[in-house]
Amino acid sequence: MSTSSQSGRAFPHRTLGRLAAGGTAGLMLLLGAAAPAAAASLPSCASISHDVGLANQTIYVKNNCSYDLTVRVLKLGPVANPCFVVPARQKVGWRWARMWKYVMTERC
Right CATH for 3-107 from 3.40.50, 1.10.10, 1.10.4190, 2.60.40: 2.60.40
Is residue 28 classed as helix, strand or coil in its secondary structure?
A: helix
What is the C-alpha separation between 85 and 14, in angstroms, rounded? 20
User: 20 or 44: whose pLDDT is higher?
Assistant: 44
Q: What are the tens digits of pLDDT across the range 73-86?
A: 999 887 788 999 99
pLDDT above 50 for 61 = yes
Please report the pLDDT score of residue 45 as a whole number: 96
Domain boundaries, the chain: 3-107
Counting residues of the chain whose pLDDT is more than 90, the rounded percentage is 53
Residues 6+ apart with CB under 8 A from 34: none
Mean pLDDT, the chain, rounded, equals: 75
Please report the pLDDT score of residue 74 as a whole number: 92
The pTM assigned to this predicted structure is: 0.61
